[in-house]
Amino acid sequence: MQSYSLIAPAKINLYLEIIGDRPDGFHELVMIMQSVSLADRIELQASDTQKIQISCDHPQVPTDKTNLAYRAAQLMGDTFPQMYANYGGVKITIEKNIPVAAGLAGGSGNAAAVLVGINLLWKLGLTQPELQDLAGELGSDIPFCVSGGTAIATGRGEQLDDLQPLSNMWVVLAKYDQISVSTPWAYQTYRQQYRDTYVSDTPGVKSRTEKVSSGALVKAIAHHHHVEIGKSIHNDLEKIVFPAYPLVAELKAAFAAQDVLGTMMSGSGPTVFALCESEAQAIAVQQQVRTQIPDPQLKFWVTKFTKKGIQVK
Ligand code: C5P
């Protein structure tokens, strides 16, 4: 039976601004997304069972229809029923290396890998933009996971414009095992607290987006100016997550006290990352924060920016 092995990198947000409400109930966002080398490995195998089967080595990952990777396979089956009938079912094996429910798009990346893999398995010949259109139906950050690299994401997060790709910055990621933040909760709470700041008319949304596109962070990325990148990162959801999860706020403060380019929560959290110039600096920062917060539930990863999205191995 034909099979494919795919690498699905995690992402961090270098920027997340909530602009306003959308008619579909989601939020109008401007984000800058960055892929990192920490990645899951997805094995896709054709099976003659006419079923979608998932297995994963991580106990917290569901193996039923609630897994985005399952829904990605189902979407491909529904969109291309003839191919589903011809090729049969698909066995999806997930090797989890990205922390779960962490704000690092681990689940989204797995779904992106399934779309890319089934495109190959069923010889569909879909282009990357076509795969990204399908990805957008499943979740707001899945289109980015398909292409990866460094990109500005607008709309729900599904409209992408590539930026000058960055690759030689190092990242320390830190997450408490026992803390997980619900993304819908974070956005709903933001809406409750900041609705009066929302812009929802098209020209207003456009001008906020343009401000970010011509702003300090995009300029710093274009010039590979690491110090400026570190100074310009921003995430609106910190205002919601930090008061509710003080340990996450303290974790960011611990990173900020180190020799780092910048530190921030990724997505809706609870992962906090710190940007560093070198691997040695990243390892030193990790050791310092580990010593300062000697909680065995606090886990660390040292990784690096990557230019790549889903890769076939
Ligand atoms: O698209 P995704 O499933 O990743 O979104 C998860 C949740 O995050 C949504 O159900 C919604 O509550 C919130 N969200 C939002 N606006 C966006 C993206 C996500 O309100 N643009």
CB-ligand 1 contact for 189 (6 Å cutoff):
no
- Which backbone phi and psi does 233 adopt, to 5 degrees? -65, 150
pLDDT tens digit sequence for 225-236? 999 999 999 999
30/201 Cα distance (integer angstroms):
15
Mean residue pLDDT across the chain: 96
Annotation says 141 is catalytic: yes
Which atom of ligand 1 is nearest to 157's Cα?
21
pLDDT tens digit sequence for 27-85? 999 999 999 999 999 999 999 888 999 999 999 999 999 999 999 999 999 999 999 99
Task: State pTM to two decimals.
Answer: 0.96
Which atom of ligand 1 is nearest to 142's Cα?
4
Write down all domains in the chain, each with its CATH number in brackets.
3-163 (3.30.230.10), 170-304 (3.30.70.890)
Which atom of ligand 1 is nearest to 141's Cα?
4
| Residue 100: pLDDT over 90 | yes
Question: pLDDT-based confidence at 158, cuts 50/70/90?
Answer: very high
pLDDT for 152 equals 97
DSSP designation for 195: G
CB-ligand 1 contact for 157 (6 Å cutoff):
yes
Give residues with Cβ within 8 angstroms of 7, minimum separation 6: 39, 40, 41, 42, 113, 308, 310, 311, 313
CB-ligand 1 contact for 187 (6 Å cutoff):
yes
pLDDT tens digit sequence for 242-278? 999 999 999 999 999 999 999 999 999 999 999 999 9
